């Protein structure tokens, strides 16, 4: 069944989206499907109203509740690393603005996404309903994954983890890929973790990033500094 993305068709800022995609291509994003998704999805639907005029700058922007929408280059990098094929089941931890989830959806994934902040979650339920996008949302601690729909072909974590949460490793399908920034609260290394058999994972570090902390049972404590 082909999905209906007509609610995302938006002629406003089309040039800005194309320029952003071109800039990402020049900076090393080679996956044409990811570039097309960036050129297609209106990022202004996801940013906080105060910052709409900055929607197509390659910067992270504040959301409510001290959280951020990731930089487009980071969204593109993580999406490319994940390597989504249409129909794959993908789990995202940290829905935030919903922009990354929407990119995954446009790439053809069946998207499951967990957010821990109720205020953001409530906004997302409404936003995805308004956009008629079938993205499965859960309010809760994503360090524990989403057991009900496991295993996943891909898992993408969009907040900084102190270490790989064992629940996420367990919920990854054999042959699946997990993309996660691991480090301290200031700086993290992105890891691509591939599950090659029931008990063998290959871990490849792929560059440095800076995310907001992953807070939860297998992440940081809420009050840690």
- Catalytic site positions: 70
Nearest to 150 by CA among 114, 203, 96, 118: 114
Contact map string, positions 156 to 195, toward ligand SAH, x by CB under 6 A: --xx------------------------------------
HEC states along 148-193? HHCCEEEEEECCEECCCCHHHHHCEEEEEEEEEEEECCCCEEEEEE
Contact with ligand SAH (CB under 6 A): which of 84, 117, 137, 172?
A: 117
The answer to whether 91 touches 156, Cβ cutoff 8 Å, is yes
Piece of the chain touching ligand SAH by CB under 6 A; list 12-20, 95-103, 104-112, 121-129: 95-103
Q: Which residues contact 124 (CB under 8 A, 6 or more apart)?
A: 95, 98, 101, 115, 137
For ligand SAH, the closer of residues 100 and 195 by Cβ is 100
Piece of the chain touching ligand SAH by CB under 6 A; list 36-44, 65-73, 169-177, 188-196: 65-73
The answer to whether 91 touches 112, Cβ cutoff 8 Å, is yes
96 binds ligand SAH (CB under 6 A): yes
- Interacting residue ranges for ligand SAH, rule: CB under 6 A: 67-70, 93-94, 96-97, 99-100, 114-117, 120, 141-143, 158-159, 212, 214-216, 219
């Amino acid at each position: 069944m082909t999905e209906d993305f007509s609610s995302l068709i938006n002629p406003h800022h089309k040039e800005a989206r194309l320029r952003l995609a071109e800039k990402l291509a020049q900076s090393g994003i080679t996956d044409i499907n990811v570039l097309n998704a960036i050129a297609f999805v209106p990022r202004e639907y996801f940013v906080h109203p105060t910052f709409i005029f900055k929607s197509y700058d390659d910067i992270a922007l504040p959301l409510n509740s001290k959280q951020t929408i990731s930089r487009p280059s980071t969204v593109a990098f993580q999406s490319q690393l994940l390597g989504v094929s249409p129909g794959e089941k993908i789990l995202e931890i940290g829905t935030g603005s919903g922009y990354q989830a929407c990119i995954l959806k446009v790439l053809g994934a069946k998207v499951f996404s967990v957010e821990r902040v109720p205020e953001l979650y409530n906004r997302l339920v409404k936003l995805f309903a308004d956009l008629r996008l079938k993205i499965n949302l859960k309010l809760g601690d994503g360090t524990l994954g989403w057991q009900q729909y496991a295993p996943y072909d891909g898992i993408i974590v969009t907040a900084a983890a102190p270490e790989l949460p064992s629940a996420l490793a367990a919920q990854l399908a054999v042959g699946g890929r997990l993309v996660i920034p691991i480090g301290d609260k200031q700086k993290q290394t992105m890891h691509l973790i591939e599950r090659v058999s029931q008990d063998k994972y290959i871990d490849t570090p792929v560059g440095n990033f800076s995310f907001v902390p992953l807070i939860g049972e297998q992440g940081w404590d809420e009050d840690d500094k």
